[in-house]
Homo-oligomer: A and B are copies of this chain.
Amino acid sequence: MAQSKAKTKKQPRPKAETPKGFRDYFGAEVTERQKMLSQIAHVYHLYGFDALETSAVETVEALGKFLPDVDRPNEGVFAWQEDETADWLALRYDMTAPLARVAAQYRNDLPSPYRRYAMGPVWRNEKPGPGRFRQFYQCDADTVGAPSVAADAEICAMLSDTLEAVGISRGDYVVRVNNRKVLNGVMEVAGLAGDENEAARGIVLRAIDKLDRLGPDGVRDLLGEGRKDASGDFTKGAGMEADKAELVMGFMTAKRDTGAETCARLAELVAGSDVGAEGVAELETIATLLAAQGYGPDRIEIDPSVVRGLGYYTGPVFEAELTFEILDEKGRPRQFGSVAGGGRYDDLVKRFTGQAVPATGVSIGVDRLLAALRAKGQTSGAEAGPVIVTVMDRDRMADYQAMVGELRTAGIRAEVYLGNPKNFGNQLKYADKRDSPVAVIQGGDEAERGVVQIKDLVLGKKLAETATLEEWKDRPSQIEVPRADLVAEIRKMLAGE
């Protein structure tokens, strides 16, 4: 700030821009997200989860993901090194890596199991795109130290409660549950067990993940010899024989009308595989626990087609999908899709301590969920502006301040116009830009007579657009009221009376 004048002159003006891939959030964009976060936190808290807020900055060593890649420790994350002897630091890219660090660091002090929730921004150093930003919010809940699938069932129930708490109606969402062990069992039965088949198993995982896009035949090709796409590019397949490939195809389409029937079908598919049987038994336990609490398939269902991040998870996986249709940018109806997901992972804490600690959790994509509520018209994305008290007479600023003081005491959002008051038109333009519902006007004449003019800006807009002269006269958008009735009259006007 204390630069000499000579210096300031020489320097070109800085550009007023956010860095690429970052954005600013204004007004309701901030307050509606805040409201949603606090609704989510309320449910998480009710379930016994405790808040945890780690700092945005972690050592790259603790984040871990990037350790093998010593030449580019900032791959995917924003990372820096103070000087060549200092630790590499980085912005967190999710909430799970910091949780693993916390679970290890405070392992002697934390309760076990440790249920925690965390909400806040995470940062990804990735190529930004339309709607894809390098900073976005996550809202996670995890249980560390609970080996029982009762913990997974609890997370699913909580996710269902949470979606309803923020305003997604029952029937407009479904939480789908699957189990990694069942898929492992299917692959074992299909002859893909053993280290030598690791590559083939990877191809199967990626193929399943593409069912939506490629359809069953495309996936069959990838399970077999491979697939040539429209451009002629060939993707090598897993090399499975046709009958074995059908086992995997059968896994993806194993969903039946009830959870029990689905589990029975899965049990057939993994017959002979211990890990597969274990996976089916876990799904059955989850289904039983949820049914006992009244979470039927209208809210939570077993669905073997859920394959999210399967490389990462070790047991149950789940995903919340919104089932209503919205119009995409081209006006075509499409399902809104996934807004949350998670599952069981058991190796994150082990990195630090050498001891495996079972963990399961869910992450809600806050910005997507908010977009869904906006698409449903349940939040406006806009905020009611304040009542604007205009300034007719600069010397009576104290009077105007007294008016807004009274309004605020009554809980009504209000402000005095603080720009240059000379041009009254500018004051009304300002009120318009602020989406003000009401403007208050008091010139010297009105002050002398002990009255104020109050102008219904919402009605005024409506009348200006549609009204006949009779309607204008019948219900004028501006009325004169005694100064003493200011608050009461504005309250009436805001209520649309």
User: What is the interface of chain A, defined by CB distance below 8 A to chain B?
Assistant: 1-3, 7, 11, 13-19, 22-31, 34, 38, 41, 45-48, 50-59, 61-62, 64-65, 67-68, 74, 78-80, 82, 87, 89, 91, 101-102, 104-106, 111-113, 115, 121, 123, 125, 134-135, 143, 145-148, 150-151, 153-154, 157, 161, 288-289, 292-294, 311-312, 347, 351-354, 383, 385-386, 397-399, 401-402, 404-405, 408, 411-420, 430, 433-434
Contact = CB atoms under 8 A, between A and B. Distances in A.
A319 to B, nearest CB: 19
B2 A311 contact: yes
Contacts of A101: 16-18
21 contacts: A13-B351, A14-B59, A14-B67, A14-B352, A18-B105, A19-B87, A24-B105, A31-B51, A47-B386, A48-B434, A55-B134, A56-B91, A74-B80, A113-B417, A113-B418, A113-B419, A115-B415, A151-B418, A154-B418, A292-B398, A293-B398
Nearest to A360: B418
A280 to B, nearest CB: 18
A382 to B, nearest CB: 11
Contact of A14 (B53, B351, B433): B351
A54 B24 contact: yes
Contacts of A80: 74, 78-80
Given A55-B22, A78-B89, A397 B16 contact: no
A154 B14 CA distance: 31
Given A54-B24, A311-B2, A418-B146, A19 B59 contact: yes
Given A57-B134, A150-B418, A294-B405, 20 more contacts: A1-B347, A11-B67, A15-B62, A16-B62, A16-B101, A16-B352, A17-B62, A18-B58, A25-B51, A26-B51, A45-B413, A47-B386, A50-B383, A55-B135, A57-B135, A113-B417, A145-B419, A150-B401, A288-B398, A292-B401
B53 A25 contact: yes
A137 to B, nearest CB: 10
A62 B16 CA distance: 6
B52 A16 contact: no
Q: How many chain copies? A: 2
A311 B1 CA distance: 8
A288 B397 CA distance: 10
Contact of A19 (B89, B102, B411): B89
Given A45-B413, A311-B2, A16 B353 contact: yes
Given A34-B38, A56-B135, A150-B418, A111 B430 contact: yes
A87 B404 CA distance: 45
A22 B55 CA distance: 6
A157 B433 CA distance: 25
A28 B61 CA distance: 29
A54 B26 CA distance: 9
B51 A416 contact: no
Contact of A22 (B2, B57, B135, B311): B57
A198 to B, nearest CB: 9
A486 B464 CA distance: 61
Contacts of A154: 401, 416, 418
A71 to B, nearest CB: 13
B401 A23 contact: no
| 4 tightest A-B CB contacts, nearest first | A48-B415, A80-B80, A292-B398, A16-B104
A293 B74 CA distance: 55
Contacts of A25: 51-54
Nearest to A135: B55
Nearest to A133: B55
A32 B146 CA distance: 28
Contacts of A401: 150, 153-154, 157, 289, 292-293
A150 B430 CA distance: 17
A113 B172 CA distance: 42
A257 B398 CA distance: 23
Contacts of A418: 113, 143, 146, 148, 150-151, 154
Contacts of A18: 54-55, 58, 101, 105
Contacts of A354: 13
Contacts of A104: 16
Nearest to A435: B111
Most B Cβ at <10 Å: residue of A30, A79, A386: A30
B26 A408 contact: no
A10 B418 CA distance: 66
